[in-house]
């Protein structure tokens, strides 16, 4: 092997002619999911022309936007090798806190938004405390946070929903949802729905952060091998903290988008979104052969699910079968990234 090592570099270490099978596998691994998505859209548009209209496209993106925002938060926590189960509860907390701030305490829209964001920050910091300071495994720690935060939200509003005119201690609350806040749910910018705009901005932020900044590189390094990351001078604890704070804050933004859309705050609305967000992030592993958490993949995953459900609904597919179809999608995506991807050697 000595001879081989002394020879000049860039030689055919792995450049043996690939077999046709290997090449096909590689193509499926990279583009398979995108091809399936394109084929699905093409088929739905052909069979039901309204599916492909601009209005319906907006419906789909709007439906995808909230899942995408939380999913992007999950993605960030996954890049540092973590897993944030508490995003749903952070979302619920932000919903109730921001709605409550306006309806019960009669605060302005911007103040409510700040309070919502502060909730996300607080959840992120609490997770950081459990995971970085107390060294509790991520999954366990965020599960505990999930229950704790959900419980806190319930206690805070006495188990009831927050809506305009709700009764507080027997008296009808006078506060209203502020127009600034409502814009998040029903406004639009240049004909594009506000929640789509917000999700787009969040996507750009996460995409640039993860792919083009040294912090993003550091996040992936921490997720890949925390010991090696520390040895390379990356401050691992700080990266984990930043990731969980981003995750909490994005969940809070998603919560406020939901509250603004429905003009009310329902108890534990976030629970349902947790699994959708996680599955969007996991489906995203298969996009362009990334085989790891990535922003573009998560966005694709969220849009994929929204388009699928929108299309199936249009074809009167029973609503109770949606979960099954979504599960199928997740399994296929995971099989693609784990079976066709390069084998990680131990």
Residues that bind other proteins (CB under 8 A): 1-16, 212-215, 217-218, 220-221, 224-225, 227-235, 291-292, 342, 344-345
Closer of 195 and 337 to other proteins (Cβ):
337
We find the least distance from the C-beta atom of residue 227 to other proteins, in angstroms, to be 5
Cα gap 129→141, rounded to integer Å: 9
We find the least distance from the C-beta atom of residue 236 to other proteins, in angstroms, to be 9
Could you give the C-alpha distances from 130 to 83, 124, 221, 270, in angstroms and in order?
Answer: 13, 10, 21, 21
Closer of 2 and 167 to other proteins (Cβ):
2
Sort 183 into a burial class: Cβ within 10 Å, 0-12 / 13-18 / 19+. Answer: middle
Closer of 1 and 134 to other proteins (Cβ):
1
Closer of 59 and 215 to other proteins (Cβ):
215
We find the least distance from the C-beta atom of residue 44 to other proteins, in angstroms, to be 35
We find the least distance from the C-beta atom of residue 78 to other proteins, in angstroms, to be 14
Closer of 135 and 344 to other proteins (Cβ):
344
We find the least distance from the C-beta atom of residue 224 to other proteins, in angstroms, to be 4
Smallest CA-to-CA distance from 164 within 155, 152, 173 is with 173
| Contact present, 109 and 102 (Cβ < 8 Å) | yes
We find the least distance from the C-beta atom of residue 29 to other proteins, in angstroms, to be 13
We find the least distance from the C-beta atom of residue 20 to other proteins, in angstroms, to be 20
3-class DSSP state of 47: helix
Pairing of strands 188-189, 171-172: unpaired
Sort 180 into a burial class: Cβ within 10 Å, 0-12 / 13-18 / 19+. Answer: middle
Closer of 110 and 224 to other proteins (Cβ):
224
| Chain center to CA of 323 | 18
Backbone angles phi, psi at 167, to 5 degrees: -95, 130
Q: Which two tokens stand for residue 281?
A: 């992030």
Q: Which two tokens stand for residue 106?
A: 């009669």
We find the least distance from the C-beta atom of residue 14 to other proteins, in angstroms, to be 5
Residues 6+ apart with CB under 8 A from 75: 206, 210, 281, 284, 293, 294, 295, 297, 298
Closer of 228 and 331 to other proteins (Cβ):
228
Closer of 27 and 228 to other proteins (Cβ):
228
Would residue 140 be called left, alpha or beta, if left means φ above 0 and alpha means ψ between -120 and 50 degrees? alpha
We find the least distance from the C-beta atom of residue 213 to other proteins, in angstroms, to be 5
Closer of 108 and 213 to other proteins (Cβ):
213
| Chain center to CA of 285 | 13
Residue 129 DSSP code? I
Residue with structure tokens 């973590």? 82
């Amino acid at each position: 092997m000595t001879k081989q090592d002394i020879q000049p570099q860039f030689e055919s270490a792995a450049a043996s002619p690939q077999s046709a099978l290997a090449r096909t596998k590689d193509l499926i691994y990279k583009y398979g999911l995108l091809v399936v998505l394109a084929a699905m859209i093409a088929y739905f548009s052909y069979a039901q022309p309204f599916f492909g209209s601009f209005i319906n496209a907006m419906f789909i993106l709007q439906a995808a936007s909230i899942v995408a925002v939380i999913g992007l938060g999950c993605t960030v926590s996954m890049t540092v090798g973590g897993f944030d189960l508490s995003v749903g509860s952070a979302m619920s907390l932000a919903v109730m806190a921001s709605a409550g701030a306006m309806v019960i305490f009669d605060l302005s829209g911007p103040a409510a938004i700040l309070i919502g964001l502060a909730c996300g920050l607080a959840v992120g910091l609490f997770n950081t405390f459990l995971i970085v300071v107390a060294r509790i495994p991520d999954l366990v720690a965020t599960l505990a946070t999930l229950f704790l935060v959900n419980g806190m939200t319930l206690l805070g509003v006495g188990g009831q929903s927050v809506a305009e005119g709700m009764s507080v201690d027997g008296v009808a609350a006078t506060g209203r949802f502020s127009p600034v806040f409502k814009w998040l749910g029903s406004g639009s910018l240049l004909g594009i729905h506000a929640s789509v705009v917000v999700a787009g901005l969040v996507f750009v932020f996460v995409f640039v952060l993860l792919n083009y900044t040294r912090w993003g590189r550091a996040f992936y390094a921490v997720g890949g091998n925390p010991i090696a990351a520390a040895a390379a001078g990356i401050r691992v604890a700080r990266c984990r903290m930043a990731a969980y704070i981003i995750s909490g804050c994005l969940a809070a933004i998603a919560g406020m988008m939901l509250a603004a859309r429905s003009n009310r705050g329902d108890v534990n609305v976030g629970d349902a979104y947790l699994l959708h967000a996680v599955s969007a992030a996991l489906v995203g592993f298969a996009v362009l052969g990334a085989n790891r958490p990535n922003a573009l993949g998560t966005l694709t995953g969220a849009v994929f699910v929204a388009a699928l459900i929108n299309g199936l609904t249009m074809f009167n597919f029973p609503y109770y079968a949606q979960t099954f179809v979504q599960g199928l999608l997740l399994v296929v995506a995971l099989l693609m990234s784990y079976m066709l991807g390069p084998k990680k050697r131990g």
